[in-house]
Structure 1
Amino acid sequence: MAASLLLVLLLAWTTGAILRFASYYGDHMVLQKKPSQAVIWGYADPGTTVMLIVSQGHNLMEKMAETEGSNGIWKVILKPMAPGGPFTIMIRQYDKEEVANATLKDVYFGDVWFCSGQSNMEMTVSQVFNASNELAEASHYPLVRVFGAALVQSEVELQDLASIILPWSIPTAKNLGHGDFSYFSAVCWLFGRYLFEKLKYPIGLIDSSWGGTPVEAWSSKKALQECGISGYAEKATSSYLDAGPKELSVLWNAMVHPFLNMTLYGVIWYQGESNTLLNTDLYNCTFPTLIEDWRKAFHEGSSWQTQRYFPFGFVQLSTNHLVEENDHFPRIRWHQTADYGYVPNKKMPHTFMAVAIDLGDESSPYGSIHPRDKQTVAYRLLLGALAVAYGDKTMVFQGPYPEKVQVDIAHESLNVTFEDHILVRHSDNKTFEVCCSEQALCKWSAVSITSSSSRSVILHNTKCPNNMIGLRYAWTESPCDYKLCPIYNVQGLPAPPFITFSHSNPGWTVS
């Protein structure tokens, strides 16, 4: 599919005049609506002038652009456009007595979201729960448009995409469920569909993801240097984590950098599994730095039309069933928040997170690392987007987080108070753990939930009532059964994993 499409594009681009749009502009696409201004760019014969006309029955806008450089690149910034369509966009090149034209049809203005990450973002709609119904529903959402970048890596930053796997399309069962880990991303599609149902105007979705890839492949060389990375000290050995390229910046170069000139509204991201085996404890630097670097690059590349601090949503890692348990998954989950435990925070402003520790799927035919409930993932991302990206102050989008830890030595108990009202779905003796200090070493032991109130839980600590220095929650690879973690808020969102120590948290009291 990708090879044949690329051949068609190359034939079109090499016959007649050079005039054309950049690769990812096409019929049926969505351009960013106001207050931002959409950017359109492409190629023409060097030294010529390009006229761009936006029309909807009659001309609404005309813009002129001069080509620059030996590649004859031109760029036009449209005036702010209200959501809606369809529009026709035509470019015309005047060169001596010859005139060349190229046209985009059925173009809408709305919000454009960029979806990226590894295989849990790459999973198609045909792979999720209730897939047949989800695919059948596709045709009901003709104003949610989809585009897929092909899997390409490059040692240098590319100006334009080298290949496309799915040109801008009106959604159908076929292009949403073409094949396993092919196109189109289920998380991306469901998020966009839910968003459309709320906003009632066009949504454009760009899927640029590749399974088995670490954050380093999606980061620019400059961003990696800020975290002291210039090469790998270790290699991932697990087959499902070793599928995609690992080399520094190769996906930034080929699958992100080409989009920088385009105006976006926001990004959603689902990645981190590969970094459970690669530079794990640098993720609290590499991930926040990627966000900041992408924001700066998209802002500048779009001539300051993509907002400098555009919203960035992500999925906190779900679960994975391993025979030999380790703490790599919980460490990555913590580092995904820059070690705050929640977002947004000082290091990660204007971000939102979908907690997924309670969505494990051990019977998934794609391996337990690929849970099929992407509907809940997308819904939790939607809540964060509505609150953070669209400013709905009434929207609750994150689960409860602890506010105080009161240690009662005499009664061998802990009172953990949360910032919001909680629901305890069940009491267990494994999800909470205390750190018992033994000669400066930390030994973690599970403690039981004995009772709860509207905002707190009481833990019974017989392990080390006199020398407890730390507390953590859901700190395992698979901490909960499906939608059965102990702590939720009244809206049904799970408490995220956390870890806290007495010496660094003013919320600790001992009596």
Structure 2
Amino acid sequence: MIFKPNGFNFILKKLQTLALLLLCGGMARADIKLPSVIADNMVLQQRSKVNLWGWASPGEKVSVEYSWSKSAIVATADKNGKWNISIVTPAASKTAYSLTFKGKNTIEIKNVLIGEVWLCSGQSNMKFTIAKGPATWETGVNDYEAEVAKINNPYIREYTVKETVSDTLMNDTQGEWQEANPGNARLFSAVAYYYAREIYAKTGFPIGLIASTWGGTPAEAWTKKEVLQSDADLNVILSRYDNALKSYPQEMKNYPALLAQWQKDTAAARLQNIKAPKAPAKPADPMTNSKSPYKLYNGMIAPIINYTVKGVIWYQGESNADHAYQYRKLFPAMIKSWRDDHHDQNLPFYFVQISPHYTQNAEIREAQLLTYRNVPHTGMAVTIDNGDSANVHPRNKELVGKRLALWPLAHDYGFKEMPYSGPLYKAMKIEGDKIRISFDEVGEGLVAKDGDLKEFTIAGDDHVFHGAQAKIEGNMLIVSSSLVNKPVAVRFAWRSIPYPNLYNKAGLPASPFRTDSWPGLTEGKN
């Protein structure tokens, strides 16, 4: 058949229109998409109903097949395109499994392990990497090159959440699961890695670590906005933030003049051969500041909070030291909120009591001790003997990870006879001119390491503390001072940089404590 040019053009246009309609129809039905945390090399929590989720076209059926079972489960995307599904995982093993998601398209997730998954969060001491990082404070652990070279365990894996500030709840983040080997492990969280290494060594379970950290950040940045709004003592944090928002424009207007004056003063200092003044800091925009309340929860916890985990490890508190009394309420509220998100009020939550440093007062450690005492299913690794007076980032992260791992090993993994804590203050009794102190977690007994017991003080009704002698008597201490005839209170390691030496026979240090409840430096400071 011979077509005339006009007829040919007409048919060609019809075919083009049909192709365009088919293309648009295909585009209208979106590909299924998974969050970045559900990806190759991931670790799923063993013996659990684990959450899987993603996005597709509204009403689209999404099936999930998993290689440890012949069955498949189907989910339907809601009106917003979100779908959720739960699958039952088997016991931990070193077998590599796969997951296949089928909808408009097919996604296969490979090299999936079943084991134990821990969310690892906090500020710089949790972020602190095994090897030297780009920031000046990221010095790496002791002898980090040798340490990295010997790391080769494909059954320990870490997913690092990208640092993200957000004013609204994010539904996804960026990151990838990586196996622990010399190429990848350099930038693993050191505390998290040593923690995982200890658990793996004792259990043989594959370990998945989800590291969501940001240096220099306070706990309120990791706390849901609604939690801060619902409590009058915490709502002042939002008021402080609102004031910062209001003052920021004027601060930015003032900044050029401050900078110009600094430049002038610096030039004059050079001429006089004297030390130049410190440059004025550029005002931080509260909207994008990692220290602002709830921003990191939105950007770095919300996207992965649906991922099924065994528990949480946390290393933070340095940035809340100036508001330590407030932290007594803030920290437990944050823990409860995260547990609410996981629909599990028994979710293990183990944390590190911060190390000595000249910027860290005793009251922040007390707030952490009180959290352990008052919040069930928590544990606290004491590191009062692992400080660096000049560096808030002690390099011996192996000790921290090991002490932290004692808690789940004893409480979650069946090693019930394993000592997991040093002595913790329990009660006091006044006996004439002495005070008797009793402890929990004494284990096989108290010991003074390297000589007489140090860092004890005692006071009478005048609230004036004097250096005291402390002696071990059974599983208790007897504390006294010739300067205090009628004592009423004892304190131990109650300063920023103490050098205590009270341990139990398992080699675990006692936590700093005080027997009094007299107003401290941070009470009322909101």
Report the TM-score when normalising by structure 1: 0.80
Residue equivalent to 1:158 = 170
Which residue is 1:422 aligned to? Answer: 446
Structure 2: distance between partners of 1:415 and 1:427: 20
Aligned residue for 2:416, secondary structure, equals coil
Q: State the 1:404 CA deviation.
A: 4.8
Question: For each residue in 1:59-107, what CA deviation from the matched residue of structure 2 results, as whole angstroms up to 9, or x when unmatched?
Answer: 633111111123x12222112322123111111114xxxxx11110000
For 2:161, which of 127, 149, 160 is the aligned residue? 149
Q: Match of 2:457?
A: 433
Change (3 A) 1:408 1:49: closer
Q: Is the 8 A contact 2:179 2:185 kept in 1?
A: no
Residue 234 of structure 2 is aligned with which of 228, 232, 235? 228
**Is residue 2:326 matched to residue 1:270?**
no
Q: Give secondary structure in 1 for the equivalent of 2:164.
A: coil
Q: Which moved more, 1:243-252 or 1:75-84?
A: 243-252
Which of 291, 294, 303 lines up with 1:258 in the alignment? 303
Label 1:448 to 1:281 Cα distance change in 2 as closer, same or farther (>3 A). same
Q: Which residue of 1 aligns with 2:476?
A: 456
Asked if 2 retains the 8 angstrom alpha-carbon contact of 1:48 and 1:67, the reply is yes
Determine the C-alpha separation between the residues in 2 that align with 1:336 and 1:147. Answer: 27
The structure 2 residue matched to 1:202, chosen from 202, 206, 214, is 206
Structure 2 segments unaligned to the other structure (5+ residues): 1-26, 132-139, 245-277, 519-526
Q: 1:66 and 1:190, CA in 2 relative to 1: closer, same or farther beyond 3 A? A: same
SS in structure 1 of the partner of residue 240 of structure 2: coil
The answer on whether the counterparts of 2:203 and 2:413 sit within 8 Å (CA) in structure 1 is no
Q: Is the 8 A contact 1:48 1:93 kept in 2?
A: yes
1 or 2, which has the higher helix percentage? 2
Answer with 244-253 or 390-399: which moved more. Answer: 390-399
State the 1:264 CA deviation.
0.9
Q: Name the one with the larger strand percent.
A: 1
User: Equivalent of 1:118, from 118, 123, 127?
Assistant: 123
Structure 1 stretches of 4+ with a deviation exceeding 4 A read 14-17, 427-430
Which structure 2 residues correspond to residues 328-339 of structure 1 after superposition, within 5 A? 329-338=361-370
**2:466 maps to which of 445, 456, 460:** 445
Contact 1:213/1:244, CA 8 A, preserved across alignment? no
Q: What do residues 306-352 of structure 1 show as CA deviations (whole Å, max 9, x unaligned)? A: x4311000000101136xxxxx521011111336xxx3x3x310011
Query: How does 1:336-351 map onto structure 2 within 5 Å?
Result: 336-338=368-370, 343=372, 345=373, 347-351=374-378
Asked if structure 2 preserves the Cα contact closer than 8 Å seen for 1:212 and 1:244, the reply is: no
Following the alignment from structure 1 to structure 2, what is the Cα–Cα distance between the partners of residues 259 and 406?
48
Equivalent of 1:369 in 392, 405, 422:
392
2:52 corresponding residue in structure 1? 40
User: Per the alignment, do residues 402 and 214 of structure 1 end up closer, same or farther by CA in structure 2, a change over 3 Å counting?
Assistant: closer
Aligned residues: CA RMSD: 2.6
1:508 is matched with none
Amino acid at match of 1:462: S
How many Å separate the matches in 1 of 2:36 and 2:114? 18
Partner of 1:66: 76
Task: Determine if contact 1:352/1:388 at 8 Å carries over to the other structure.
Answer: no
- Greater mean alpha carbon deviation, residues 220-229 or residues 264-273: 220-229
Q: Name structure 1 gaps, 5 residues minimum.
A: 1-13, 95-99, 178-182, 300-306, 323-327, 504-511
For residues 476 and 124 of structure 2, what CA distance do their matches in structure 1 show?
Answer: 37
Asked whether the equivalents of residues 430 and 446 of structure 1 are also in contact (C-alpha less than 8 Å), the reply is no
Please name the residue that 1:9 is paired with.
none
- How many residue pairs align between the two structures? 436
Shift of 1:502: 9.5
Give yes or no for contact 2:161–2:300 (8 Å, CA) kept in 1: yes
Alpha carbons 1:316, 1:356 under 8 Å: kept: yes
Task: Tell me the amino acid that sits aligned with residue 293 of structure 2.
Answer: L
Code of the aligned partner of 1:434: I
8 Å Cα contact 1:317-1:329 kept in structure 2: no
Match of 1:92 in 2: 102
Question: SS state of the match for residue 460, structure 2?
Answer: strand
Tell me how far 1:359 sits from its aligned partner. 0.3
CA separation of 1:147/1:413 partners in 2, compared to 1, >3 Å: closer, same or farther? same
Q: How do 1:14-413 residues align onto structure 2 when only pairs under 5 Å count?
A: 17-34=30-47, 36-55=48-67, 60-70=70-80, 72-84=81-93, 85-94=95-104, 100-126=105-131, 127-139=140-152, 141-161=153-173, 163-164=174-175, 167-177=176-186, 183-225=187-229, 226=231, 227-229=233-235, 230-232=238-240, 245-277=290-322, 279-299=323-343, 307-321=344-358, 329-338=361-370, 343=372, 345=373, 347-362=374-389, 368-409=391-432, 412-413=433-434
Paired residue type of 1:320 = H
CA distance in 2 between partners of 1:137 and 1:68 (Å): 48
For the structure 1 residues 361 and 15, does the alpha-carbon distance in structure 2 shift closer, same or farther, using more than 3 Å as the test?
farther
What letter corresponds to residue 449 of structure 2 in structure 1? R
1:319–1:368 CA contact under 8 A, matched in 2: no
Q: Does the residue aligned with 1:370 lie in a helix, a strand or coil?
A: coil
Distance 1:69 1:260, change over 3 A: farther
CA 1:29–1:15 in structure 2 vs 1: closer, same or farther (change >3 Å)? farther
**SS of equivalent to 1:319:** coil
Q: Residues 200 and 15 of structure 1: is their aligned pair in 2 closer, same or farther, counting only changes over 3 Å?
A: farther
Q: Which residue of 2 aligns with 1:487?
A: 502
Q: Structure 2: which amino acid aligns with 1:222?
A: E
Kept in 2: contact 1:231–1:248 (CA 8 A): no
- Paired letter, 1:312: F
Q: TM-score, normalised by structure 2?
A: 0.78
| 2-structure distance, mates of 1:418, 1:73 | 52
CA distance in 2, matches of 1:401, 1:51: 51
The CA distance in 2 between the partners of 1:107 and 1:404, in whole Å, is 49
Equivalent pair of 1:473/1:497 in contact (CA under 8 Å): yes
Larger Rg: 2
Deviation string 1:446-477 (CA, Å, 9 cap, x unpaired) is 2133x4344233333122212x2211111111
